[in-house]
Amino acid sequence: MRVPTVNVSCLDITMQTVSDTDATEVNRILREAATSGPLKGLLAYTELPHASCDFNHDPHSAIVDASQTRVSGPRLVNILAWFDNEWGFANRMLDVAGHYLHTAAPRTDTQLSVSEEQ
């Protein structure tokens, strides 16, 4: 979907669920995912009216626009999620760097030693 900003774009996601659902249930699940669990800080959720420019420099990978959630029939779900392609990606790269910084064991095999002959 084209939006009138350089960095911000949106995903128009359509999927079919295994069981019957409605927009309220879909939004409840997405809101919970954004506020707790492994997606907290990566996924955001909003029910407020926004324009594409409102998501410029948002650090989340995606922001679910709950006002646009639709369910056609009992199982065809449509979700709209905004994202800042550059800023969100840069924040995920910082997350990866931070992860490696805190989990990588120090390497001792690359330490240089000065020989006595020099």
DSSP string, the chain: ---SSSSEEEEEEEEE-SS---HHHHHHHHHHHHHSGGGBTTEEEE-S---GGGGTT--SSEEEEGGG-EEETTTEEEEEEEEEHHHHHHHHHHHHHHHHHHHPPPP-TT-----TT-
The model's pTM: 0.79
Euclidean distance between CA atoms 45 and 80, whole angstroms: 11
pLDDT score, position 44:
98
Query: How do the domains of the chain map onto residue ranges?
Result: 8-103
**CATH T-level fold of 8-103:** Dihydrodipicolinate Reductase; domain 2 (3.30.360)
List, run by run, the mean pLDDT of 10-residue segments along the chain (118 residues).
Answer: 80 97 98 95 96 92 97 97 92 90 68 50
pLDDT score, position 48:
95
pLDDT score, position 118:
47
pLDDT score, position 55:
94
pLDDT score, position 57:
93
